[in-house]
Amino acid sequence: MAVEFSEAAKQEFSEILTHYPTKEAAMLPVLHLAKREFGHVSTEIMAYISELLELNVTRIANVVSFYTLFPGTPEGKYVIQVCSTLSCQLMGAETVVDHVKKKLNIEVSETTPDKKFTLKKVECLGSCGTAPVMQINDTYYEQLTVEKIDKILDSLK
């Protein structure tokens, strides 16, 4: 299957290019566009972007592998990111991870069979004072307890 942006994404790509002095400088916004368009940034998608930006695919792959924002495979509708840095660890982040794993019957870096949830452990989410913390898509959930986690996940099912 050949990868190609939709017409709307092609227009957005063209618009992005107008804001940058070179095509390479537009790489991150174009990668974000690709993630929105395809849900992930696979090897095939990297090759497509490299053609559009007239860059070596290795350059694209290096940037993609550096950032955790660009998964190589499709993720669930709800991406659950649990902070795993010191403050959250001290306040029970492993309990959060263990409970989510058990409730959704998945491991870290896995997606539920219905493609609804993906679980990730991530570095600092910047909310150390309200640990433990998880982010689901763009929403933060702080001072988590097992009860709060159950309510949150049940509301998303």
Q: What is the pLDDT of residues 111-148, one digit of tens each?
A: 999 999 999 999 899 999 999 999 999 899 999 999 99
Q: Evaluate whether the domain defined by 78-156 bears CATH number 3.40.30.10.
A: yes
Q: What is the pLDDT of residues 61-81, one digit of tens each?
A: 999 999 878 999 899 999 999
Report pLDDT digits (tens) over 11-54. 999 999 999 999 999 999 999 999 999 989 999 999 999 999 99
Sign, CA dihedral 14-20-23-26, equals negative
Segments making up each domain of the chain, as ranges:
7-66, 78-156
Measured torsion, CA atoms of residues 34, 45, 113, 132, in degrees rounded to the nearest 10 = -50
Contact between residue 114 and residue 157 where contact means Cβ atoms under 8 Å apart? no
To the question of pTM greater than 0.95 for the whole model, the response is no
The pair of structure tokens assigned to 92 is: 């029970």
